[in-house]
Structure 1
């Protein structure tokens, strides 16, 4: 009987050394930290110049240094004034933006998706857009009085126009070839809007949203300059009466930070929403 040789199993190769998971996570955190540091570098340069120039009188004899502004801010926080006025302002701008952004989005969709809607809506919107809405304060006071309604109405009117224009042009900027391709595949009207037109318009809509939020904060500044006893605008007016330039700069810095935070929030939503879009990010 022939001997049957049983082949010995080949020696198992040593597993290749893979990089530790923690190293990849650490590198990712480091990259994010570097990106954030680079984005804040411009602000850091401005603050450093401000700190250097203010004591030397380069920015005027009454301009406080950032350290003085920080001290004044801490005093207001300890007294509870800054938080109380800030909450009132946030409530005002939230109401105004809720109305304004909704109106701008709906009007843009109507004009962009329906040709007859553009014929009816676009001319009045373009005419009103040419009016300086911040100069409408006396008219709003006549219509709505000096209470909260006039202030919220002023904040509402500003964001409508940039969002409307960007929604309209975002929809009309969708390539007609994509629309025809979808129709040839049997996609209906609602499917066409949901799958082709709106996804193609979303990048432009986010641009309009960023512009609208900026105008909303600008409108808040003007709205709180007249006939108010609450809000960070009132805090700035009160500081002006008592020549507290440090408090005035505290309010200006708060306005700037609020605008920056809302813009960064919209950019975060844009990155999360448009994960499918690979655009040019710079050289």
Structure 2
């Protein structure tokens, strides 16, 4: 199951190991001391890498979105998303409404570049969020934001086709970022077949970088909430999280402010979310 981060919890520092007082002893003790020293050096490297990665994220956040310093839980979440040590880049993020989940997705997207798909089951993307996305500075590469459910429905699919064409232009080394917000039902529509095909091709070309889910509890705890939510497993998730090619998987970030207080239920929530949507067995 994916690691989870509680945004309201106190920050966890990178792991460290404190050695005991120096002493002279047997060869076994000498080996142990050497192992402790090696572990300390390794942990120092982890701490250095963590801090360097955080600095990169804060630079992007400041330059592109003109924000202040990232919160501690935002730093930890962002590092976990891109660090291969952590569970195949899958993360369930649980924190209260208004604590900055959306900014994690924004910052992660511009760090990875390419295509960032974000499912919004309740069409709950606020006007304020869209304004922040569209005000992104273009100094490090273009940043586009499209709310696909708001595309005109009377233009014969022309607006959607323009986005699909733009997706096909992105190369693996791109510095551009395309944020695509959409509801599950949008991708399930027959008229969205060109988009679905383009996303699969983008995955094959290693341009689909992040798949995000907002209000993630709806995908698991209310599986009958919409038929389309369950349809996404076969239509989309099985294709872009193919176990035959795990190294090319996009980052999977699920976010919610609603989480069961019972830890046993929480474990089921996490395992079902990943097993049903981001793991193909």
Category of TM-score, reference length = shorter chain: under 0.3
TM-score (norm 1): 0.23
* TM-score, structure 2 normalization: 0.23
